[in-house]
Amino acid sequence: MDVLRDNLVYLLPLIILQAALALTALIHVLRHNEYKYGNRVVWVLVVIFIGFIGPILYFAIGKGDE
């Protein structure tokens, strides 16, 4: 438990960044209908269950042209 408490200073910004990134990607997935690859259900699952990489994948390869 002491290790977690000692490293909380470093982990908290990463946790906040991951939550903000996932929330932003999830909102974008739900508001838009066009995707380069896949469909809405696939991207929601990717964003929710693949941590940092899921939202980055969505914005890099999944987000359709506006």
pLDDT at 66: 63
Measured between alpha carbons, how far is 44 from 23 in angstroms, rounded to an integer? 11
Looking at residue 14, its pLDDT comes to 92
Q: How many domains does the chain have?
A: 1
Domain residues for the domain of 13 are 2-62
| pLDDT per residue as tens digits for the range 2-60 | 888 888 888 999 999 999 999 999 999 999 988 888 889 999 999 999 988 999 999 99
State the Rg of the chain over Cα: 14
Q: Which residues contact 57 (CB under 8 A, 6 or more apart)?
A: 46, 50
